Amino acid sequence: MRIEINRHAMYYGLVMGCVFGLNFILSTIPSMFTAAMQVAVICIIPFVAFMMVKNCRDRVCGGYIPYWVSVWYVVQLFLYASMISAAFKFVFFKFIKPDYLSNQFQLSMNTLEKLGLTSGMEESAVYAVQEQATDAVTMSLQSIWINIILGFVVALIVSAFAKREKGAFDNE
């Protein structure tokens, strides 16, 4: 049964990866409408994860799924989704819009200068941060870990609602 759960997580991780990709696309377009859409997508992600766990519980697990199996399923879901999303981000940062990260870093530095927070920064420290913040591979890999950590938090909450244990009097 664990193999079927893993396959289910891989397949629906692809779907969730498309949702993550949509969220990323919306984050690159600067407007109030896309910002509102991005917030809506972020709010929908836990609900989509719940529906996917429920689907796995009913289709693959025979109507029952323990709490920690559900948590593991959601973490896998976010792992596969974040890998797909990271691949899309890498392509975007490296080939579609290669100056996007450096422009974002420059906007951040301009904001810090306006707030007067750059007076204590050494030039070498700023350069070191810029090297990491503008590297497509680094940013893509960081997004995987961030999504997995957030996925674990979502999994703890969603699994509490999606779990269904077999009772003492339930038939096999």
Share of the chain above pLDDT 90, in %: 65
Cβ-based neighbours of 44, under 8 Å, separated by 6 or more? 19
Residue 64 has pLDDT above 70, yes or no: yes
Residue 58 pLDDT class (50, 70, 90 cuts): very high
Read off the pLDDT band of 171 (50, 70, 90). low
d(CA 165, CA 92): 43
pLDDT by residue (tens digit) across 131-151? 766 788 888 999 999 999 999
CA distances from residue 125 to 11, 33, 44, 120, 132 in whole angstroms, order as listed: 43, 36, 38, 10, 11
What pLDDT digit, counting tens, does each position of 148-167 carry? 999 999 999 999 999 988 77
Categorize the per-residue pLDDT at 2 as very low, low, confident or very high, splitting at 50, 70 and 90. Answer: confident
Q: Residue written as tokens 């997580």? A: 9
Whats the size of the chain, residue-wise?
Answer: 172
Q: What is the pLDDT of residue 23?
A: 94
pTM: 0.84
Q: List pLDDT tens digits, range 84-138.
A: 999 999 999 999 988 888 888 888 778 877 877 666 666 666 666 677 667 888 8
Helices (H), the chain: 2-28, 32-59, 67-91, 100-114, 123-133, 136-162
pLDDT tens, position by position, 35-47 = 999 999 999 999 9
